[in-house]
């Protein structure tokens, strides 16, 4: 039976609460991204993405999200952004580029909404 944590009652739209239930459902997927703090895991991913995903035990849905570089979909599926950003370094995406993608914008469009649009 689902019970509501009163501390997270009233979260705004477009925000995904990473809680124990989410983490429990997606622990292997989160671990796959977390592993990217190790050079050997980065090397294995660069060598063979499919083999790296298989040995991490990702399911078909998770593999498809990685193949599609679907950043928002990965977050919505239950991955914490702070493990995801480790993988962003591995596939050579800056955080600003990932932010733009999650908003459905190009980097240029996103930067036009910022206080210092030419910052990188």
Residues that bind other proteins (CB under 8 A): 5-20, 23, 27, 30-31, 34, 36-39, 42, 72, 75-76, 80-83, 85-90, 95-96, 99, 102-104, 110-111, 113-116, 118-120
Dihedral pair phi/psi, residue 46, rounded to 5°? -65, -35
HSE toward the beta carbon, residue 12, CA cutoff 13 A: 1
Smaller CB separation from other proteins, 6 or 60:
6
Smallest separation, CB 5 to other proteins (Å)? 6
Smallest separation, CB 71 to other proteins (Å)? 9
Smallest separation, CB 48 to other proteins (Å)? 19
HSE toward the beta carbon, residue 64, CA cutoff 13 A: 5
Smaller CB separation from other proteins, 6 or 47:
6
Residues 6 or more apart in contact with residue 104 via CB below 8 angstroms: 72
Smallest separation, CB 55 to other proteins (Å)? 17
Nearest to 104 by CA among 66, 67, 73, 61: 73
């Amino acid at each position: 039976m689902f019970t509501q944590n009163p501390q997270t009652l009233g979260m705004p739209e477009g925000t995904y609460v990473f809680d124990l239930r989410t983490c429990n459902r997606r622990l292997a997927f989160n671990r796959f991204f977390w592993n990217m703090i190790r050079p050997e895991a980065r090397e294995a991913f660069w060598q063979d993405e499919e083999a790296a995903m298989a040995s991490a035990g990702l399911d078909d849905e998770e593999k498809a999200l990685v193949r599609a570089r679907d950043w928002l979909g990965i977050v919505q599926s239950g991955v914490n952004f702070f493990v995801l950003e480790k993988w962003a370094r591995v596939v050579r995406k800056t955080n600003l580029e990932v932010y733009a993608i999650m908003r459905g914008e190009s980097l240029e469009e996103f930067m036009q909404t910022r206080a210092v649009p030419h910052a990188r």
